[in-house]
Amino acid sequence: MSKKLFLLPIVALALAACGDDEEVTTAPDNAPTEQDTNNDEVTTSTDAPYAFAKFSFDAEYSATENIEADYSNESSGVEASYENDKTGERLNGDDAFAYLEPIFENFTFDSSTGNDEVVDEIVQAFNLETNYTQLEIDITFDDGSEREYTHTP
C-alpha cells in the first residue's frame, strides 16, 4: 500500500511535465478564434489583428532541413511554434509567438488574395531562400474559409 502512495505523486508529476509547451500565454486580445463545435463554426472579428485563426507553413529544403511555423488561435487558447533546421532555431509558446507576431502584423493578404501573392508574401516575410524543394501553406481565415497553397520552384 505504501508503495502505491509513494508512486502516485511521481506519476502525477510526470504527467504534468508532459504538457503542451506550444501554449501561448500572451496572445492578442482581439485575435480571431476558431470555435471547436460540432459544425466547426468559426467566429469572425472585424478588428482582429490577423486575417486568420490558423496558419502553418513548411518549406522543405532537403530530407533533414525544413523551416516550419504553426499558429492556432482556438477557443481553448493560442498555440505557436517555429522551427528552422538550417539555423537550429526551435521556438514554442510565447517565444514563438513573439517571433511570429511582427511578421503576422505585416501580412496584407486575406481569403480573396491570389495564390501567387500569398506565397510571395510569405516567402518574403520569413526571408525564405527560394531553393526549397516544396512550400506548403495552410491557412484558416477569420471568415471561416480554409486555403491550402503548394509551391514548387
**Of the candidate ranges 39-43, 68-72, 117-121, the one whose mean pLDDT is the lowest:** 39-43
| Global model pTM greater than 0.95 | no
Residues present in the chain in total: 153
Please calculate the CA angle 47-72-128 and round it to the nearest 5 degrees: 95
Instruction: Over range 1-22, report the average pLDDT.
Output: 46
Least confident of 9-23, 70-84, 105-119: 9-23
Q: Which amino acid is at 121?
A: E
Higher pLDDT, 33 or 65: 65
Domain ranges in the chain are 21-151
Q: Residue 75: what pLDDT?
A: 83
Say which residue the cell 507553413 belongs to: 57
